[in-house]
Amino acid sequence: MQLDGAGALVITVLLFTSILPAQSKSTGGTPASSQGVPNSAVPLFDVKLRPDPELSVPYDDRIPSTSEGCDSNGAPYIRVFKLMPHEISILRFGPKEIVTFSASKITDVASPTTVDDFVSGSRLYMLVEGDAHKEEVVKQLEDGSQKVHWETKEEPRSYIARFDEDGSYRGSVKLDLPFRPKRLSGFDSGGFVAAGFDEGKIWRVALLDSSGSLLKYVEFPKENEKSPEKSFERSFGTSAGDSNVGSSLFAALAGFFPYHGSVLYVRGHSGAPIYEISESGEVRVIKIKAPGGHAVEGFIPSDRNWLVTFGKTGELPNREQSDLYDVDMATGELLREYRVEQYSRFSDAEQEVACVYQDEFRAVRHEKGKLVMLRGTPLPSIETAPDPRSEQ
């Protein structure tokens, strides 16, 4: 399996910034006031993570891994990367075994390339590209020698591949859409939400039925603030849709998060609103008051409230400068702040929170050549999150 240009770019972003598109690891040790805390203080909790000795798998510490959230039973899913040969797989940690989901199991698509994935209930869905026609090309070099390589001669086709929770492959659905999907999520009933650029370089978000057919485009309320595309252009010095680099990075910083029958839509670091998309296509604007100069960076899945991370608007995620907050689902009010035990991103103990399930934080850590499952329960901190109003 070979990665296309967009996939290679996403891996490059991951290698140099260690990010999950639109989702970032929470960290501890940084006072909330230094982040530009919201208008009122919230209770502060500390989380110390402990390894689960029964759940670990060998893995090269030098290669990044990213959280894909958890399933309905709280089992974390982790995306792992192999550079030689290029391959992307998903690992499911739990409850007593590790299951691998690999695009190499997709037998009805030629040369499948993983683009995106999400977990719904007990199934994992992969958005893949494949079936592109490739030709052998001979290039004459200046020294008179010849170099033989393969070139893709047409656009690859997009598919949704389905896997059961035991890793077995259940088949694929071919997509025939007026845009090239780069992000995918869905609903418990089997319908999907997909997003990508059309031929006019317009970013589209659409509802699909269970067969992958287009139902309609999602219509978003008019926003008072600048469009996410314009914010992206100004922040990163490139247009969202005018190049492979720009479009791939824009797509990488956008994210869908299945949540309690709906799908949350986040356009990371654009300062744009967060939307909750229902299965009927109705959209609700979510207003979460972020610290000054910050925007919601991403979500950590939870079986209770929303857990959000904040990052500086217009900047790539920086896990060493983000806090994790518990948010009321109806009002957007911040209820709690969590400081999760911190490990340096440059050490052999890189870690990432996958979800919170039944009040237990679940994470995965790089440690001594392994990916290790972690568990931790939040406890009230002996410190108190400062109230910025008292400093005025």
- Rounded to whole angstroms, the Cα distance separating 54 from 346 reads 26
**Nearest to 6, CA basis, from 178, 180, 124, 132:** 180
8 Å CB contact between 46 and 377: no
Q: End-to-end CA distance of the chain, in Å?
A: 57
> How far apart, in whole angstroms, are the C-alpha atoms of residue 349 and residue 61?
8
Q: How many domains does one find in the chain?
A: 1
Q: Which residue has the tokens 């026609």?
A: 133
CA dihedral 66, 72, 75, 77 (to 10 degrees): -20
- Average pLDDT across each block of 10 residues of the chain; the chain has 392 residues. List them in order: 42 38 35 41 89 91 84 91 77 91 91 90 90 71 76 81 94 95 92 93 93 95 57 51 59 81 80 85 85 75 84 60 75 87 56 90 89 94 56 40
Two tokens, residue 68: 């894909």
Q: 67 with 354: CB under 8 angstroms?
A: yes
Which residues are paired to 372 by β-bridges? 56, 365
**Nearest of 375, 364, 368 to residue 90 by alpha carbon:** 364
**DSSP 8-state code for residue 220:** P
Nearest-angstrom CA–CA distance, 209 and 95: 32
d(CA 100, CA 79): 10
Whole-angstrom distance, CA of residue 80 vs CA of residue 298: 20
**Residues 6 or more apart in contact with residue 217 via CB below 8 angstroms:** 204, 205, 206, 207
Beta pairing class for 379-380 and 44-47:
antiparallel
Which residue is listed with tokens 């909750």? 276
Give the Cα separation of 24 and 324 in Å (integer): 9
Q: What is the pLDDT of residue 24?
A: 35
Q: Which residue has the tokens 């410190």?
A: 383
Q: Where are the alpha helices (DSSP H) in the chain?
A: 5-17, 228-236, 244-252
CA dihedral defined by 154, 160, 162, 168, rounded to 10 degrees? 10
- Give the C-alpha separation, 362 to 69, whole Å: 10
Residue 190 DSSP class: S
**DSSP structure class, residue 15:** H
Give the pLDDT of residue 343: 55
Domain CATH for 69: 2.120.10
User: How many helices (H) and strands (E) are present in the chain, helices listed first?
Assistant: 3, 28
Q: Count Cβ neighbours within 10 Å for each residue of 11-47 and write b for 16 or more, e otherwise.
A: bebbeeebbbbbbbbbbbeeebeebebbeebbebbbb
Per-residue confidence (pLDDT) for residue 226, from 0 to 100: 47
> What residue numbers bound the domain in which 215 lies?
5-391
Counting beta carbons within 10 angstroms of the beta carbon of residue 314, is it exposed (0 to 12), middle (13 to 18) or buried (19 or more)? middle
Among 335, 370, 366, residue whose Cα is nearest residue 350: 366
Give dist(CA 127, CA 185) in Å, integer.
9
> Does the predicted model carry a pTM greater than 0.95?
no
